[in-house]
Amino acid sequence: MLSVRDAHARVIAAFEALPSEMVSVADAAGRVLAASPQARLTQPPADLSAMDGYAVRAADVPAAPTTLTLVGQAPAGGSYDRALQPGETVRIFTGGPLPMGADSIVIQEDTKADGPRITILEAPRVGRHIRKAGLDFSAGDTPLAAGRTLTTRDVALAAAMNHPWLSVYRKPRVAILSTGDELVMPGEPVGRNQIVSSSGIAVAALVRGWGGEPTVFDIARDDAKLIESRIEAGAQHELLITLGGASVGDHDLVQAALKAQRFDMDFWKIAMRPGKPLMFAARDRARVLGLPGNPVSTMVCALLFLKPAMERMLGQPGDLVRTVPARLAVDVKQNDQREDYVRSRLGRDADGTLTVDPHPVQDSSMLSVLAACDGLMIRPPHDPAREAGDTVQVVDLHGLPGGY
């Protein structure tokens, strides 16, 4: 059976960056930059005051108190256009441009005004409360690299750089097909022996959260012709995700339907738990990732394979999910030949070290366990028995993009 690493490598090799499109900067949060925007101006454009107060020449106030003559004002968006002469001061506001000749700002709390006579109560320091031109960025700067998923902070910066439009990768269109006679949609009447289809909803949410555009097909009954026609419709998207029907049972029809539709199987079955019957197939530009039906297997495989595939379409490397070291809270037995992704709870030791406590129940049908856990402990194939206190690798589910 293929290793997780090799399966991941084969999946990401099959995807490349989609074409770019322009979007309004107002709609760009969460999108991935296809081209790095250059700052179109320098910010601040001139030396500005950081405070409400008075612009002065520090040399005029060697000691406080000293009284200066008010000669004008410089609000944000306005300016005082003459040079400040010895003994003069200009009323200035936060964001107001520093008058020529001035070299310091005295905040208004440190002054006393009596008509045009302004008494400075604190001796100023050269450069105090002045934001120099270009403090934030200069025209031509490229602080946002292509390939970056734009945060709202990035969007604020791009807008400040005077970009009303940004070049981003088109969203990958991902079709999602749940298969199985037993499935009904949430809220529908649930007949005898039926269960609610949760995975289609979860995968659609993941696709959206990872920057794609999901299309959720109606659930397909275990009918070969019906599944084939849905696969054909799915092939019109960048990627079709099938859910269930991946294993070896008489009702597991997805692989046969793919073959009937002339898809080549890249691989089927990998050395992973949960997620053994993972399937990957291609025909021309169409790609199908067949996720195993057990809902926890679906979710773990989505994180390991769907997310990187989407990242590739968004011009990113598509690395395997990041792991961090953690200290085992309990002893664990030797692992078998499948790489294990053990649903676990993360915590902190008294010394602040990340700890991992595997959940005692690991059935891949149990969404309640997955939801209660916040980490996946990775047991490599044939990993020997480990003791409490040993260091292992974990996937920290907190703060993953897309709200996993």
Residue ranges in 336-375 that form contacts with ligand MOO under rule CB under 6 A: 364
Residue 273 interacting with ligand MOO (CB under 6 A): yes
Encoding tokens for residue 186?
């949430």
Q: Tell me how far apart the alpha carbons of residues 122 and 119 are, in angstroms, rounded to a whole number.
A: 9
Distance of alpha carbon 23 from alpha carbon 31, whole angstroms? 9
Among 63, 145, 248, 361, binds ligand LQZAQKY5 (CB under 6 A): 248
- Pick the closer one to ligand MOO by CB: 170 or 276: 276
Give whichever of 272 and 314 is closer to ligand MOO, judged by the CB atom: 272
Burial class (CB in 10 A: 0-12, 13-18, 19+), 93: middle
Q: Does 199 bind ligand MOO (CB under 6 A)?
A: no
Q: What's the CA gap between 252 and 304, in Å, rounded?
A: 23
Binding status of residue 214 toward ligand LQZAQKY5 by CB under 6 A? no
How many residues make contact with ligand MOO (CB under 6 A)?
8
Question: Which candidate, 244, 254, 374, places its Cα nearest to that of 301?
Answer: 244
Q: Which of residues 134-193 bind ligand LQZAQKY5 (CB under 6 A)?
A: 178, 180, 182-183
Q: Which neighbouring-strand residues pair with 357?
A: 345
Kindly tell me which of 99 and 275 has the beta carbon lying closer to ligand MOO: 275
**By rule CB under 6 A, what count of residues binds ligand LQZAQKY5?**
27
Integer Cα distance of 230 and 232 in angstroms: 5
Residue 181 CA to residue 88 CA, distance in Å, equals 86
Q: Which is nearer to ligand MOO, 276 or 386 (CB)?
A: 276
CA-CA distance, 279 to 268, in Å (whole number)?
4
For residue 213, what are the β-bridge partners? 173
Residue 245 makes contact with ligand MOO by CB under 6 A: no
Indicate whether 244 belongs to the interface with ligand LQZAQKY5 (CB under 6 A): yes
Distance of alpha carbon 53 from alpha carbon 92, whole angstroms:
5
Q: Rounded CA gap, 169 and 318, in Å?
A: 15
Beta bridge partners of 1: none
Report the distance separating Cα 224 and Cα 184, nearest Å: 19
In the complex, the smallest distance separating the C-beta of residue 93 from ligand LQZAQKY5, rounded to whole angstroms, is: 60
Helix/strand number for the chain, H first, E second: 8, 24
The verdict on 294 binding ligand MOO (CB under 6 A) reads yes
In the bound state with ligand MOO, the residue whose beta carbon lies nearer, of 261 and 364, is: 364
Q: Residue 231 half-sphere exposure, CB side, CA atoms within 13 Å?
A: 28
Q: Which stretch binds ligand LQZAQKY5 (CB under 6 A): 69-77, 150-158, 274-282, 338-346?
A: 274-282
Judged by beta carbon, residue 172 or residue 292, the one nearer ligand LQZAQKY5 is 292
In the list ligand LQZAQKY5, ligand MOO, none, the entry touching 371 (Cβ below 5 to 8 angstroms by class) is none
Pick one of 97, 295, 315, 375: the residue that binds ligand LQZAQKY5 (CB under 6 A). Answer: 295
Among ligand MOO, ligand LQZAQKY5, none, residue 386 binds (CB under 5-8 Å by kind): none
335 binds ligand MOO per the rule CB under 6 A: no
Contacts of 379 (CB under 8 A, 6+ apart): 332, 335, 339, 340, 342, 392
The residues of the shown chain that bind ligand LQZAQKY5, judged by CB under 6 A, are: 178, 180, 182-183, 195, 197-200, 243-249, 252, 274, 276-277, 292-295, 297, 364-365
Contact residues: ligand MOO, CB under 6 A = 273-276, 292, 294, 297, 364
